[in-house]
């Protein structure tokens, strides 16, 4: 039996709205930059899409987010972006695209697996998976971008620089926002029931 990914017009409209939110939030309003740290609130519609429509849509929304981030990197929207793009364009491209794509996909997988037993717990777990995977893959990407990270870290230990300067604050804020928003997401899911 073939497993086909099909959507009705109501679902396509919902996915389109979430896609628009991802693009607009990432491009103009979902990111707050504090030094080299970028707080990304675009993860919320990615989680919502992965919960309502499944892992494939979560991956699609994550991919769209990654493309917008990559465009921001290429145009040098943040000084760190210009540095990583100049020194490591291939790893930077891979990191931008894969981290949010994987985060959206794995969030949908987690929700699908856990929701059979408890929808509320599944929503919280799916909401936490996105920032955990996104940040984890960002750390891996940074470790592969040695030229850029060494240039930023100076005399500091590279791993400590990544964890303290680039990740910690960003990760905990994204995780907190997603966890706080999870009950509202659960309510929206019950209302929509697409």
Q: Assess if residue 55 is contained within a domain.
A: yes
Residue 31: what pLDDT? 63
Whether residue 180 lies inside any domain: the answer is yes
- Domain limits at 159? 11-192
Q: Which helix (H) or strand (E) holds 32?
A: strand 31-34
pLDDT of residue 2: 47
Please report whether residue 3 resides in a domain: no
Q: Tokens in use for 74?
A: 């290429």
| CATH number where 80 lies | 1.10.1760.20
- The pLDDT value recorded for residue 163 is 77
pTM of the model: 0.85
Question: Which of 42, 48, 63 shows the shortest CA–CA distance to 108?
Answer: 48
Residue 63 belongs to some domain of the structure = yes
Cα–Cα distance, 137 to 124 (Å, whole number): 20
Q: What is the pLDDT of residue 39?
A: 63
Domain count, the chain: 1
Q: Chunked in runs of 10, what are the mean pLDDT values of the chain (194 residues)?
A: 68 90 84 63 90 94 95 83 85 94 97 92 92 91 81 77 75 83 74 63
pLDDT at 77: 77
Query: Within a domain: residue 142?
Result: yes
């Amino acid at each position: 039996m073939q497993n086909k990914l099909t959507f009705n017009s109501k679902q396509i409209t919902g996915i389109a709205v979430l896609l628009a939110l991802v693009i607009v939030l990432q491009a103009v309003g979902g990111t707050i930059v504090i030094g080299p740290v970028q707080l990304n609130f675009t993860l919320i519609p990615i989680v919502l899409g992965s919960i309502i429509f499944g892992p494939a849509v979560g991956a699609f929304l994550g991919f769209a987010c990654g493309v917008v981030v990559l465009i921001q990197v290429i145009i040098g929207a943040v000084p760190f972006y210009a540095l990583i793009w100049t020194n490591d364009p291939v790893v930077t491209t891979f990191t931008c695209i894969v981290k949010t794509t994987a985060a959206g996909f794995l969030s949908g997988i987690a929700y699908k697996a856990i929701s059979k037993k408890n929808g509320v717990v599944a929503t919280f777990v799916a909401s936490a998976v996105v920032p955990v995977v996104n940040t984890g893959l960002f750390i891996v990407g940074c470790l592969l971008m040695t030229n850029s990270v060494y240039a930023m870290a100076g005399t500091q230990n590279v791993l400590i620089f990544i964890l303290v300067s680039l990740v910690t604050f960003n990760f905990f804020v994204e995780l907190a926002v997603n966890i706080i928003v999870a009950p509202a997401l659960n309510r929206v899911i019950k209302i929509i029931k697409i």
